[in-house]
Structure 1
Amino acid sequence: MTAVSDRTEDRWDDGLIARRAAARGEFGKPADEDDGLDDAYEPIGGPYAAPLRARLEALRELVGLSRTRLDGATLAEAGRVLDEAAARQRLSSRHTVVAIAGPTGCGKSALFNALAQANISETGLRRPTTSAPVACAWSDGAAGLLDRLSVPMRLRRKPLQCPEPEEALKGLVLIDLPDLDSAVIAHREQADRVLALVDAVIWVVDPEKYADVVLHERYLRPLAGHAEVTFVVLNQVDRLPGEATDQVLDDLRRLLDEDGMALGEFEEPGATVLGLSALTGEGVWELRELLGRLVAERGAAARRLAADVDAAAARLRPVYVAEGRPELDDRARQEFTEQLGEAVGASAAGQAAEREWRRHANKACGTPWLRLFRWYQRNVRPGGDIRPARPQAPVEAEITARQRVEQAVRTLADEASAGLPAPWALAVREAAARGAEGLPEALDQLAVSVGVPRGRSPRPAWWPVAVLVQVSMTLLQFFGGLWLVGQIVGVLKPGLLVPALVMAVGVAGGPLVEWSCAAAARGPARRYGREAERRLREAAEGCGRAMVLDPVAAELLRYREVREQYVAVTSVTGLSTTGG
């Protein structure tokens, strides 16, 4: 007992409030050192209820999937909500932490003392009066919660014990906060820190400051989604004459409605608005009954956390909800591959393959005299090679091909990222740009390896027959010519008609066979050219798919995954996710 007494004495030796209250004997009972933790502590334990648990899991998955695409500042609020959810889950579920907040001089500390029925928090004309959070716990086991709020041990108290009426408030932890508009920055920072951690808030205003712009714009409007764990009380109604109280309360409700805060009228969920006087006690017992009901439900912590998830989801909406349904459709893929095919010269390669096939056909099925003429032009006649070497692409052509590839990639990236939120649109464009870095070079290699086929082209089944017929026509020419020569020199019996006819058939038949083969070769040559074009286009398509299409599709898939998680986070809220 001596050690405990020493610690208790040390705890209350510093602090103006403690010294004055100890001198007057007006404080409620001091909180015990161990706060009855072993007997009364009951953590929430296990997961939250199913809907909230599913939303938290979706939010955690959402943050994990987005870390490589979004900056830390964007995900900071969502991470804070997850951390606070885990921290609150480990603490007592039998206690509900309610903060009393408001501007200077509105009577927060007076209301705090009226609810506790003890002069725990100092009141007075000096401003600011409350410099640190003051706590009053109606039951044991709240030490962990107060440690989380960083409430000093010397400012943790209990109310005066009135067993029957106070039984309804068992589990309530009431926090008196420093002024929200305090001239001391540290006081405002303390108030803001605690407001982010408590389960519910009582906003105290007076007839003079109920419309304060700072209060509404900095606190009430941003926390409009927390209406179910919010009380807004108009204090000092004893100063208002006649029906002025109702008029001020109506105007206060109007302002709250403009802030977007739902009002819990007609037994609907929302903020509770009431007038009271901490000085005379008018309306205080009504507020105590409402607090008792809130504590008995043991649901304020979960509702506050659900509202925090709503707020975090609303902040993240611009980076997850798209204007349309971004996807890489078949049309965009086809246009991209067609542009790559043009850039790699697939049409030109097909035409070259067709000409090469027809050239081989003409060479195989042509007359010997035409072959001899062509050989003469290639080998004997200077500069007479009618078959130029394979031309090299000029610099201008290479630049044009590269520009076509870059334009195709830009067009694809723009279509794929159209309507995406800015971070994901940027990720899609970056994926396309990374793939496009080596794409022109890869297409150039394809043009060399898959372009015009090397070696002999395939021959149709009629080709040997055509060659045999052409050889026969040539033999007829020789036979007829020899026959005529033999008759002229007198070796053979004269008769010019038959050898002339034989020779004429050979002479006329050779070009006729050549022309027939050229006509018959058009179809196979065209198919051969188309096949070469198809192979080159497919090779270009495969290269473009591996280097650009697949990375872009992967980014779009990642976005769809995070969007599904975002929808799961907002699935039971009033947030609309249409359009994405």
Structure 2
Amino acid sequence: MTGNVTAVTDDTDGTAEGRRARRGEGRWDDGLIARRAAARTARGRPSERPRSEEPQKRQEPQEPQESDEYDGLPRGGAHGDAYGGRLRGRLDALRELVGLSRTRIDASTLAEAGRVLDEAAARQRLSARHTVVAVAGATGSGKSMLFNALAGVQISDTGLRRPTTSAPIACSWSDGAAGLLDRIGIPGRLRRRPLHGGLRDAALSGLVLVDLPDHDSAVTAHRDQVDRVLTLVDAVIWVVDPEKYADAVLHERYLRPLAGHAEVTFVVLNQVDRLPGDAADLVLDDLRRLLDEDGMALGEHGEPGATVLALSAMTGEGVGELRDMLGQFVQERGAAARRLSADVDGAAARLRPVYVADGRRPGLDEPARAEFTDRLAEAVGAAAVGEAAEREWRRNAGKACGTPWLRLWRWYEESRTPGAGIEPVDRRTQDEGDEGEITARQRVEQAVRAVADEAAAGLPAPWAQAVRESAVRGAAGLPEELDVLAVRAGVPLGRPPRPAWWPAAVLTQAAMTLLQVFGGLWLVGQIVGVLEPELLPPVLVMLAGIIGGPLVEWACSAAAKGPARRYGQDAERRLREAAAGCGRARVLDPVSAELLRYREVREQYVAVTGVSTTGR
């Protein structure tokens, strides 16, 4: 037996590829410049030829490595275009997605995506001509016997002792797979070569078969090795037997979580020689039913999915069919791309809750922004400022166009009673003022809270929290700044501007006053005998002045309503715009930046999934 099986030593520990694997280079990060520089370096680096796995023999001619190592598969392969184009874009999008999300989403949520990027970087540096297939199964399922039957020689121990396989054993059909086996962690003493010779070996060129320990082993270390290796191989052959094909551990722990990897999964019903008559077909149909319940697509009728077949490793029935399927599968050289694409699908499915939320389209529309502006204007008292400005304009108009006797009487009242016209300030008024200040601050907080809730509606929890936090941070000094704006942009200092008709109104009012004075003097002259007595003319002149003065004042007051209202509206508008600008700079702009960041990550997430999502 030793003449047929060649042990393979660990001959790549000193290569540059092995050193990079030990250093952990190629790990994902979110540095765009570093990634592009690394990609340029990788493309410009001369390809390295794999060293022979049999140093004691003459080296066979080696196939040249592909120039674009990023693809991980040759351009001429069945899936070369998908891996070099669509899958590469999905990986780049996933890397950008992780980088944009690190400050918003906890590391544990992004851990699976980081692992996928790590494995993609590690796999793309290794041989694209080889396909690593693991043979997994439960205790007594006959996986090691099937492993030996495929290799054509006794490699993995079989027997009644359980568990028989204690460590992964690899069998490689061609040279150049040492880097892949280093990545899996299989030492050189557990690397084998099959029995050479025949066309079947040529068909399986590039296959690396790995026999795993039992996944249901009583030894915890064995189960840990199975879980570890299953994340590193390109495809899996699950070996089940008629007794344990429906085992809950197999379906719940492995097949159901890996349902998305159906295209790189083989499910083999072994030991069919033990089933009488049509029992094998019945068991196989029931196995297909269970796989369908697990969510695993079956590759039937030309559709992509898992391969399900029955065989007997003991008698050799169906083993040749499996070898032919493996040969075609390996020669397509698409397993690595399919496995990686399924890993990306799984990572995207786990990340969906933090990027896609069912509900309305998130964002701030114009009504929400207008409502926020109205709330700030109400908090800063823009309407009250406008009313005060309007009253000031009308008061100024009354002083300029009112009758002089009324103005003189008001001046006398104010001079006779100091403090007249000023409302006394008592304790109740002071308390109401304090309460008004607190209410204004509360109105600002309510406005910020309302616009943050409106912007966060429809967002996944992490991004909704980020939107609310950005709004709260921006609103920290907003009430104080609004108070300053109320002073600066409130009622303008000085007298309001006078319209062009004011001088004419003042002259008319002066004329009415002169008429009163002239009529009075005329009447007095007649009384003292200086002038001829004629009572009617001076009385009419005085009445004209007495009646005309108030009429002029009323007319000016009516004419002043429009300009006063516009003056008050301008003052209210200035304060409203100032408050809106302050709220926009402190709250709306940071919230909009968070929403823009979310839209960016959503675009990246859609690129990762490769399909359009139903959410917004």
Query: What TM-score does the superposition give when structure 1 sets the normalisation length?
Result: 0.92
Higher mean displacement: 476-485 or 532-541: 476-485
Deviations 1:450-508 (A, max 9, x none): 12222111111111111111112122222222333333334444433333322222222
Correspondence for 2:117: 82
Correspondence for 2:396: 360
Residue 372 (1) aligns with residue 396 (2):
no
Which one of 308, 312, 328 corresponds to residue 273 of structure 1?
308
Q: For the residues of structure 2 that align with 1:64 and 1:114, how far apart are their CA atoms?
A: 47
Residue 328 (1) aligns with residue 364 (2):
yes
Deviations 1:159-199 (A, max 9, x none): 11114221100100001111111222221111111100111
Deviations 1:23-59 (A, max 9, x none): x637611225548824357366144421111111111
Q: For the residues of structure 1 that align with 2:414 and 2:319, how far apart are their CA atoms?
A: 114
Correspondence for 1:69: 104
Q: For the residues of structure 1 that align with 2:397 and 2:3, how far apart are their CA atoms?
A: 116
Amino acid at match of 1:176: D
Deviations 1:56-100 (A, max 9, x none): 111111111111111111111111111111111111011000001
Q: CA deviation at 1:387?
A: 7.4
Q: For the residues of structure 2 that align with 1:179 and 1:316, how far apart are their CA atoms?
A: 31
Correspondence for 2:55: none
Q: Secondary structure at the match of 1:426?
A: helix
- The answer to whether the Cα contact below 8 Å between 2:390 and 2:567 also exists between their aligned partners in 1 is yes
- The answer to whether the Cα contact below 8 Å between 2:9 and 2:189 also exists between their aligned partners in 1 is no
- The answer to whether the Cα contact below 8 Å between 2:268 and 2:311 also exists between their aligned partners in 1 is yes
- Superposed counterparts of 1:284-299, under 5 Å: 284-299=319-334
- Superposed counterparts of 1:13-32, under 5 Å: 25=2, 28-31=5-8
Which one of 58, 69, 73 corresponds to residue 45 of structure 1?
69
Residue 501 (1) aligns with residue 544 (2):
no
Which one of 228, 231, 238 corresponds to residue 203 of structure 1?
238
Aligned identity (percent) is 74
Correspondence for 1:528: 567
- The answer to whether the Cα contact below 8 Å between 1:26 and 1:119 also exists between their aligned partners in 2 is no
Q: CA deviation at 1:412?
A: 1.3
Q: CA deviation at 1:151?
A: 0.6
Q: For the residues of structure 2 that align with 1:40 and 1:187, how far apart are their CA atoms?
A: 36
Deviations 1:414-465 (A, max 9, x none): 1211121111111111111112222222222222221222211111111111
Higher mean displacement: 429-438 or 220-229: 429-438
Q: For the residues of structure 2 that align with 1:230 and 1:539, how far apart are their CA atoms?
A: 65
Deviations 1:197-216 (A, max 9, x none): 11100011111111111110
Correspondence for 1:193: 228
Q: For the residues of structure 2 that align with 1:492 and 1:141, how far apart are their CA atoms?
A: 137
Correspondence for 1:138: 173
Correspondence for 2:36: none
Amino acid at match of 1:412: V
Alignment gaps of 5+ in structure 2: 13-48, 52-61, 72-82
Correspondence for 1:513: 552
Q: Secondary structure at the match of 1:394?
A: helix
Shift in CA distance, 287/84, structure 1 to aligned 2, threshold 3 Å: same
Q: CA deviation at 1:114?
A: 0.9
Correspondence for 2:341: 306
Q: CA deviation at 1:294?
A: 0.8
Q: For the residues of structure 1 that align with 2:158 and 2:64, how far apart are their CA atoms?
A: 32
Q: For the residues of structure 2 that align with 1:114 and 1:460, how far apart are their CA atoms?
A: 107
Correspondence for 2:195: 160
Residue 251 (1) aligns with residue 286 (2):
yes
Q: Secondary structure at the match of 2:7?
A: coil
Q: CA deviation at 1:382?
A: 4.1
Shift in CA distance, 160/190, structure 1 to aligned 2, threshold 3 Å: same
Q: For the residues of structure 2 that align with 1:121 and 1:29, how far apart are their CA atoms?
A: 13
- The answer to whether the Cα contact below 8 Å between 2:9 and 2:188 also exists between their aligned partners in 1 is no
- The answer to whether the Cα contact below 8 Å between 2:10 and 2:178 also exists between their aligned partners in 1 is no
Query: What TM-score does the superposition give when structure 2 sets the normalisation length?
Result: 0.87
Q: Secondary structure at the match of 1:131?
A: coil
Correspondence for 1:103: 138
Amino acid at match of 1:29: T
Deviations 1:242-270 (A, max 9, x none): 11111111110000000000001112111
Higher mean displacement: 203-212 or 378-387: 378-387
Higher mean displacement: 396-405 or 488-497: 488-497
- The answer to whether the Cα contact below 8 Å between 2:242 and 2:283 also exists between their aligned partners in 1 is yes
Q: Secondary structure at the match of 2:362?
A: coil
- Superposed counterparts of 1:404-423, under 5 Å: 404-423=443-462
Q: For the residues of structure 2 that align with 1:412 and 1:328, how far apart are their CA atoms?
A: 8
- Superposed counterparts of 1:345-356, under 5 Å: 345-356=381-392
Q: For the residues of structure 2 that align with 1:164 and 1:243, how far apart are their CA atoms?
A: 33
Correspondence for 1:438: 477
- The answer to whether the Cα contact below 8 Å between 1:94 and 1:171 also exists between their aligned partners in 2 is yes
Q: For the residues of structure 2 that align with 1:152 and 1:110, how far apart are their CA atoms?
A: 22
- The answer to whether the Cα contact below 8 Å between 2:116 and 2:343 also exists between their aligned partners in 1 is yes
- The answer to whether the Cα contact below 8 Å between 2:104 and 2:462 also exists between their aligned partners in 1 is yes
Correspondence for 1:184: 219
- The answer to whether the Cα contact below 8 Å between 1:169 and 1:295 also exists between their aligned partners in 2 is yes
Correspondence for 1:343: 379
- The answer to whether the Cα contact below 8 Å between 1:40 and 1:141 also exists between their aligned partners in 2 is no
Amino acid at match of 2:454: E
Higher mean displacement: 31-40 or 227-236: 31-40
Correspondence for 1:13: none
- The answer to whether the Cα contact below 8 Å between 1:379 and 1:385 also exists between their aligned partners in 2 is no
Amino acid at match of 2:528: V
Q: For the residues of structure 1 that align with 2:170 and 2:610, how far apart are their CA atoms?
A: 36
- Superposed counterparts of 1:222-261, under 5 Å: 222-261=257-296
- The answer to whether the Cα contact below 8 Å between 1:58 and 1:565 also exists between their aligned partners in 2 is yes
Aligned length: 553
Shift in CA distance, 26/182, structure 1 to aligned 2, threshold 3 Å: farther
Amino acid at match of 1:45: E
Amino acid at match of 1:362: G
Q: For the residues of structure 1 that align with 2:464 and 2:484, how far apart are their CA atoms?
A: 31
Amino acid at match of 1:340: L
- The answer to whether the Cα contact below 8 Å between 2:235 and 2:265 also exists between their aligned partners in 1 is yes
Q: For the residues of structure 2 that align with 1:185 and 1:108, how far apart are their CA atoms?
A: 19
Which one of 69, 88, 91 corresponds to residue 126 of structure 2?
91
Correspondence for 1:124: 159
- The answer to whether the Cα contact below 8 Å between 1:377 and 1:385 also exists between their aligned partners in 2 is no
- The answer to whether the Cα contact below 8 Å between 2:215 and 2:223 also exists between their aligned partners in 1 is yes
Deviations 1:78-137 (A, max 9, x none): 111111111111110110000011111211111111111111111122222212111000
Correspondence for 2:494: 455
Residue 478 (1) aligns with residue 517 (2):
yes
Q: For the residues of structure 1 that align with 2:183 and 2:507, how far apart are their CA atoms?
A: 101
